[in-house]
Amino acid sequence: MSARDLLFEIGTEELPPLTLPALSAALASALAGGLGTAGITHGEVQIFATPRRLAVLIGSVSERQPDRQIERRGPPLANAFDAHGNATQAATAFAKSCGVAPAALDRLTTAKGSWLVFRGTEPGSATSSLLGAIAAQASADLPVAKRMRWGAGTAEFVRPVHWIVLLFGSEVIPCEVFGLPSGRLTHGHRFHAPQPISLAAAGDYPSALRSAHVIASFAERRETIRDAVAVLAADVARDAGGSGGGALIEPALLDEVTALVEWPVPLAGHFDERFLALPREVVIATVQDHQRYFPVEDARGALIPWFVTVSNIDSRDPGVVREGNERVVRPRLSDAAFFWEQDRKLSLDEHAARLTGVTFQAKLGSYADKTGRIRRLAEWIGEKLGSGPLVARAAELAKADLMTAMVGEFPELQGIMGRYYAEAESEPPELAIAIAEHYLPRFAGDALPTTKTGQVVALADKLDTLVGIFAIDQKPTGAKDPFGLRRAALGVLRILLECRLDLDLQRTLEFAAADQPVQRPGVADEVFSFISERLRGMLLERDDGTTAEMIDAVLANRPHSPLDMQARLTALRAFLRLPEAAALSAANKRIGNILRRAHLDPSVHVDAARFTEDAERHLHHAVSHVGPHVFETMAQGRYEESLRLLTGLKESVDRFFDEVMVMDEDAGRRGNRLALLRDAQHLFSGVADLSRLPG
């Protein structure tokens, strides 16, 4: 079957840079998905995205849908022919609806009866007749949170749309998207190639745009920028008198810059060396986060007074462009230097005192109130973990830098500036580091606090937020999580697990809940369950053989800490690799079922004198012998050894079920045997509830 390339392009005004990759990927997925739903085969899917366009080029798109075999069931044979074998009106009407004579119909016989049936082939539609609707639907399905209208039309999109290209090979597919008719005219660089470009065929798209000063592929443009910035930064560092160096290229900034330019041209700029006296993060935040420039460092990793910017114009006078960028960054750095000097005129204690005037949450009080709760909770946690004497002081100063001018201008430096101001006041190094670390981890994969003080204050901050927001009934719903509670829960778990902190989470949450200004019963349990669900997700993502049933078995015992749960889960995985594990798990499930149905009175205990069968005596002896060792090893956290001891019960359990009638007619014997099974179940369920495992 013959095939052609397919091009679909949406030309717009400048698109939001942070959403450009997601929009382009969604368009490609929707367009390819539409072809797939229609049964149209195709080849490679290429994605293109620049500030002024979203485009998809799909190779080797089949020119027709495949023919489809159809089968339509008609009336029952009993109603299809009269006594003389002539077709009835029902059969005739069915045949007519299928476009054939009654004699051309087949018979279908099943266990439920016999019917007339039409079997035939439905020819596939021409792809060109379907593409307009597929493209329009793909455009309508783009994930745009906030749409806008433009002009006098009713179309809505994230930015005004100015042209639509829909080419199938060299053929323009007529359709209307965002109120515009499709065509073959695209546009190159706004300044270097302002005239419309007529595309002869879909496959000409990448080269035609490159000739018009547009690198249409986001991925190609990104690598071009990365390489060019790296080379220019290395040259600048070398020319500045160093033996080497390079640019700080953050992936997020690289993506954003890529989304801002169509024809990248890197330029180096310079700023006054005196600004290097500022904290490193301040210079980086000014140059990188606010100006979207790439800072440059020397071979030792120290910043030098240079940056690399990426222009969207290949200027005939690059010096003017360079001077413009330098002129913009200079006052930014001057402001930062001013903030640095002004902030240090007040101590961190004085900055912290001003937190009373800033609301954390209307029902939960000010940031000063939150600081008090963090301090009390951090002291409580610190006592359990043996964190040392700096915890209370670190908690008192943790939020102080929120009141500084520097953090007011650069919110992303919260904590970091607190560390610098604490160091300037000669606070202990671990305390200063803890102020910066208590926000960690900020996102998935971020670093964790390295100091015990930082770990404790980070836990206290996150747990206070979780409990407080749950207390006012503002827990996350669906995709909405304005207080970042899911991130906070994952941060708590990462600190506890990766830093090996054995903290009784339930008791800690109860302490935090009791200290909240809003009291609501059951909040600690709700937060514990919320964190446990996050823990379940984390554990299932690991490639270590953990299953949902294993996690359920461990969580059923409500381990006192995530670290304890992880240890139990590790032991359970090892136990399940033993040859006796499957039989013991199945036996425990059977015991659980029997006990649930029997409703044994808790006051009933085993009386060895009432045993009448050797098998029950044998099981009682095994349980009595193994039990103390199982509970001792479990109390010491030696869970794998505890579970391994259970394998000594297999023979006794098997024999018991083979030879003993548990539900004996005699109530005394029945209760005694049920009590024996209950004692055995206590052993099986100590580390994890084995009855929850598949048997």
Average pLDDT over residues 686-694: 83
Domain formed by 3-65+127-211, architecture: 2-Layer Sandwich (3.30)
Residue 456 has pLDDT above 70, yes or no: yes
**Residue 676: which pLDDT band, with cuts at 50, 70 and 90?**
confident
**245-296 pLDDT per residue, tens:** 899 999 999 999 999 999 999 999 999 999 999 999 999 999 998 899 999 9
Asked if 306 and 326 count as a contact pair (C-beta separation under 8 A), the reply is no
Share of the chain above pLDDT 90, in %: 67
Q: How far apart are CA 201 and CA 146, in angstroms?
A: 34
Please state, rounded to an integer, the average pLDDT across all residues of the chain: 92
In angstroms, the Cα distances linking 409 to 24, 282, 339, 349, 643 are: 33, 10, 9, 20, 57
Report the alpha-carbon angle 613-619-621, nearest 5.
105
Residue 669 has pLDDT above 90, yes or no: no
Average pLDDT over residues 599-628: 87
Specify the pTM: 0.80
Give residues with Cβ within 8 angstroms of 669, minimum separation 6.
Answer: 610, 612
**294-344 pLDDT per residue, tens:** 999 998 999 999 999 999 999 889 889 999 999 999 999 999 999 999 999
Return the pLDDT at 686.
Answer: 85
Q: How far apart are CA 145 and CA 74, in angstroms?
A: 48
Q: How far apart are CA 519 and CA 624, in angstroms?
A: 46
Q: Which amino acid would we find at residue 60?
A: S
Just give the CATH number of 349-541.
1.10.3210
Direct distance between the N- and C-terminal alpha carbons of the chain, in angstroms, rounded to an integer: 53
Between these two residues, 342 and 558, which has the higher pLDDT value? Answer: 342
Residue 596 has pLDDT above 70, yes or no: yes
Average pLDDT over residues 32-37: 94
Q: How far apart are CA 219 and CA 24, in angstroms?
A: 11
Return the pLDDT at 350.
Answer: 97
Q: What are the strands of the beta sheet with 113-122, ordered from one edge?
A: 68-76, 113-122, 106-110
Cα-trace Rg, the chain: 36
**Does 569-692 carry CATH code 1.10.730.10?**
yes
> Domain boundaries in the chain?
3-65+127-211, 69-122, 218-343, 349-541, 569-692
Q: Which amino acid would we find at residue 537?
A: G
In the block, residue with structure tokens 């990927």: 25
Return the pLDDT at 695.
Answer: 61
**Residue 675: which pLDDT band, with cuts at 50, 70 and 90?**
confident
Asked if 164 and 196 count as a contact pair (C-beta separation under 8 A), the reply is no
Closest CA to 436 of 426, 445, 448, 424: 448
